[in-house]
């Protein structure tokens, strides 16, 4: 089996599995309890937060543990929108956000908030001029993802943070779920106020995530209850998964720059192998500083993406058509449409995502499997709709 769908989810480190099992077995106390078992569990939570905070250069009391990326994004966006609506009701995001952001803004728009959706370039990047032009007197929140989950485009987060420093009343949220670990991330230095992450994207457990909240930012809680997590996220902390998340993050961050360089080398070989097939078109940015090291997106024009996915599956190779959260939809990719692709092209997108643990021979194995699938399916496709030299 060759699993290359790491942007959807990733296998847990064996050490993380063992740690979670041990905490489940031994430290089952409620962190809010005042007896010894409770105190020990609370210490584990605080230690885990310290590990997470150190990894991204923030303070432990700025880490809020959640159930994952969707909750982190909901808490950040709704928490600011509701908590600061006395300042204004204008919000800014982009046309290419993950569903856990896009759908939140759609809900807020129905409740009377004004939402500006920034366009992106043909490579999927936001332009600073568009953001500057969109800012109004009553803007309270800018929410922009670090790495697009479908195309792998890197947004200019550092530059956006610098721009927003001139607007101290605007809160800057970054969905870093696909970017953390894979790329450098410095929330404080980059002017980020809120930052979302999900453990299962970096070989941690599903059901665990965190939200970095800069000290001084007030969020309106989404859940009422016992007031855990500084009163922002009520509910008994999931101690085993929080500890497992911290361990996975620490392990993933070891030798981060070496892993990033290795991943970019794999990406370059993968891109060249795909680009060599006349039937396929690699999409998005080709420059390393604009494309994430672990995601490659391409189009097999005239062929439904799910047909390719299942043909590769027959050969033991696993990839995605787009975000795992939307891969079951029959509609074209909204991300591709935002990049200017036709409806037909937006139905034919495929995403390959891998880890720094992959090696060159596995990339060669994937290219060989893809060549065989393309050869078998090419006669069955509709008329090609994309010239080879065209970029989308």
The pTM of this model reads 0.94
Dist. CA 61–CA 46, nearest whole Å: 9
What average pLDDT is seen over the chain? 94
Phi, psi at residue 54, to the nearest 5°?
-60, -40
Average pLDDT estimate for 213-219: 97
pLDDT of residue 326: 58
Q: Is the pLDDT of residue 131 over 60?
A: yes
Rounded CA Rg of the chain = 21
Q: How confident is the model at residue 391 (pLDDT cuts 50, 70, 90)?
A: very low
User: Tokens 């969905």 appear where?
Assistant: 175
Q: What is the pLDDT of residues 141-151, one digit of tens each?
A: 999 999 999 99
Say if CB 252 and CB 98 are below 8 A apart: no
Element (H, E) at 360: helix 360-377
- The β-bridge partners of 194 are 173, 213
User: Tokens 């439904």 appear where?
Assistant: 304
- The β-bridge partners of 5 are 353
Going by C-beta distance under 8 Å and a sequence separation of 6 or more, which residues neighbour residue 8? Answer: 320, 323, 324, 327, 353
pLDDT of residue 130: 98
Element (H, E) at 342: none
Average pLDDT estimate for 343-370: 95
Q: What is the bridge-based pairing of β-strands 295-300 and 280-282?
A: antiparallel
User: What residues act catalytically?
Assistant: 325
Dist. CA 336–CA 352, nearest whole Å: 16
CA angle 270, 276, 281 (to 5 degrees): 80
Q: What is the pLDDT of residues 108-128, one digit of tens each?
A: 999 999 999 999 998 999 999
């Amino acid at each position: 089996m060759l699993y290359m769908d790491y942007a959807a989810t990733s296998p847990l480190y064996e050490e993380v599995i063992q740690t979670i099992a041990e905490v489940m077995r031994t430290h089952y106390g409620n962190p809010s309890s005042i007896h010894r078992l409770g105190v020990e569990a609370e210490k584990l939570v605080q230690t885990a937060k310290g590990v997470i905070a150190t990894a991204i250069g923030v303070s432990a009391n700025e880490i809020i543990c959640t159930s994952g990326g969707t909750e982190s994004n909901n808490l950040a966006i709704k928490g600011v929108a509701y908590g600061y609506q006395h300042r204004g009701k204008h919000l800014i995001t982009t046309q290419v956000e993950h569903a856990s952001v896009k759908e939140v803004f759609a809900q807020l728009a129905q409740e009377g908030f004004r939402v500006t959706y920034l366009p992106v370039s043909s490579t999927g990047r936001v332009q600073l001029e568009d953001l500057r032009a969109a800012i109004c007197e009553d803007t309270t929140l800018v929410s922009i993802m670090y790495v697009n989950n479908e195309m792998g485009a890197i947004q200019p987060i550092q530059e956006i943070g610098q721009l927003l420093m001139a607007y101290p009343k605007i809160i800057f949220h970054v969905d870093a779920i696909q970017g953390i670990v894979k790329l450098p991330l410095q929330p404080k230095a980059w002017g980020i106020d809120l930052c979302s992450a999900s453990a299962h994207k970096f070989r941690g457990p599903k059901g665990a995530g965190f939200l970095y909240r800069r000290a001084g930012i007030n969020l309106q809680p989404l859940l009422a209850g016992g007031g855990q997590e500084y009163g922002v996220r009520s509910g008994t902390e999931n101690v085993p998964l929080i500890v497992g998340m911290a361990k996975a993050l620490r392990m993933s961050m070891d030798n981060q720059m070496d892993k990033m360089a290795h991943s970019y080398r794999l990406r370059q070989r993968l891109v060249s192998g795909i680009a060599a097939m006349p039937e396929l078109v690699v999409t998005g940015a080709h420059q390393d500083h604009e494309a994430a090291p672990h995601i490659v997106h391409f189009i097999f024009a005239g062929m439904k993406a799910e047909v390719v996915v299942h043909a590769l599956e027959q050969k033991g190779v696993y990839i995605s058509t787009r975000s795992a959260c939307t891969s079951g939809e029959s509609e074209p990719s909204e991300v591709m449409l935002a990049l200017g692709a036709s409806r037909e092209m937006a139905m034919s997108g495929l995403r390959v995502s891998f880890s720094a643990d992959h090696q060159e021979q596995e990339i060669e194995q994937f290219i060989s499997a893809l060549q065989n699938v393309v050869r078998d399916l090419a006669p069955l496709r509709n008329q090609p709709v994309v010239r080879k030299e065209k970029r989308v």
